[in-house]
Structure 1
């Protein structure tokens, strides 16, 4: 990650939420209902624009998707 990326808020972490939802045939709206997080906030996470995530939210998403944190978040090595 370059200093310019850091200034723009790029975290170097990629969220695989879109892929996991597709694999499970689940919509973002349904996930929102299951975890109690707004569609807008999940969209921010899905599009790698989130600056932070609560552990409780992370746990709720993983529980709803039947996955581990490492399945959802990965280091972006680009």
Structure 2
């Protein structure tokens, strides 16, 4: 996958638990886990907005694009 989800990074920076983020955004722990682990095929803009509001960040802080070439170098 070329889109990397950096929710773990932002949670660590904000010293927030996954449970707290789930409650603030209003999504289930299961759905948040799917997002965190990069298994999601899509994300609603309202969910992304809620995550950004709860973490006080921009969408670019949560989502990152990496080309397939850069994955091979890691």
The alignment's TM-score, normalised by the length of structure 1, stands at 0.83
Runs of 4+ in 1 over 2 A off after TM superposition: none
Aligned to 2:42: 52
Does 1:21 find its partner at 2:11? yes
Uncovered stretches (5+) of structure 1, i.e. residues with no partner: 1-9
Unmatched 5+ stretches in structure 2: none
Measured against aligned partners, the alpha-carbon deviations of 1:21-67 in whole angstroms (never above 9, x if no partner) come to 01111011000000000111011101111100000000000000000
TM-score by length of 2: 0.88
CA RMSD of aligned residues (A): 0.8
More RCO (CA 8 Å, sep 6+)? 2
